[in-house]
Amino acid sequence: MIAMKHSLIAKYRKDEKRLDKILAACDASQPPLQAARALLYALLQPDQYAMRYRYEHCLRACGWAEKIARGENWDPEPLMLAALLHDAGYPFCKTMEEWPAHAAVSAHIAERFLSVIHYPPSLSSVICRGIAIHDIWMDVPKDATAFELSVRDADDLDRFDALRLCLISHGHIREKGAAEALQICTQRLQTLDAWAMRPCGTKTAETLWQNTLSMHRETYLRLQQQMQRTLDMENTLFPQKEGDAPCCD
């Protein structure tokens, strides 16, 4: 059983009636992935803008899970189920203070869902534990299995893919000048070196992770070169003599 050890538990129990209704409507005759997708859609309601990104992120994480599983010659379904449901608890975590509980809440939801569809208990337990630890960055449990770590890997492979690169870059740089952008590029490249040490659950995930970091690294290196050319152009083509004003009044 998944134990939720956060202060959110009491509040979440009040919201669980909604989950009861959704699970009661669950069609256990469907293939597990289709049933899980229907559950996720009902929980997140992605037709509302607030949860559209979260729903689509779960779909993309599910795709990464399939790549990892097939790369390791695993049955892809259990890992895809875990990735699909890893953020199912988000609707019950409405503030930044509650967000740290989302992994535990998601694991609890997955546990209940897997019981409803009569999924094999041995698989259900590893799926739920993988979901419960998916938000741990570096200090992963020493006894975590490759499968359990792979839920986290599938999550992070989407979190740091092209979309997140665009969001991070825009947030950090936007319309900053070349000198300031150069400093940001240097900082980001140093961060990428630290991220390269992040432990992965499998060789497949490690390869995918390093490829993702390479995309980030190439982008910031190219931006670094562009910003340096900007400074060089100003200094080479428009050198200022001592006492010159930088521009005309």
Q: What angle do CA 72, 75, 77 make, to 5 degrees?
A: 120
Look at 25-39, 93-107, 116-130, 174-188 and tell me which has the smallest mean pLDDT.
Answer: 93-107
Give the Cα separation of 113 and 64 in Å (integer): 22
Nearest by Cα to 15 from 105, 83, 78: 105
pLDDT in tens, 157-191: 999 999 988 988 877 787 889 999 999 999 999 99
In angstroms, the first-to-last Cα distance of the chain is 73
Q: Are 198 and 209 in contact (CB under 8 A)?
A: yes
pTM over 0.75, yes/no: yes
Can you read off the two tokens belonging to residue 155? Answer: 């999550």
Residues with Cβ within 8 Å of 123's Cβ and at least 6 positions away in sequence, in order, are 78, 114
Residue 6 identity:
H
Task: Report percent pLDDT > 70 for the chain.
Answer: 90
Residue 95: pLDDT band (50, 70, 90) is confident
Which class for 185: exposed (0-12), middle (13-18), buried (19 or more C-beta within 10 A)? buried
Q: Which residues of 69-106 are buried (b: 16+ CB within 10 A; e: fewer)?
A: beebebebbbbbbbbbbbbbbbbbbeeeebeebbbbbb
pLDDT tens digits, one per residue of 123-144: 999 999 999 999 988 788 899 9
Listed in sequence order, the DSSP H helices in the chain are 8-24, 32-44, 52-71, 76-85, 102-116, 121-132, 146-159, 162-172, 178-195, 203-237
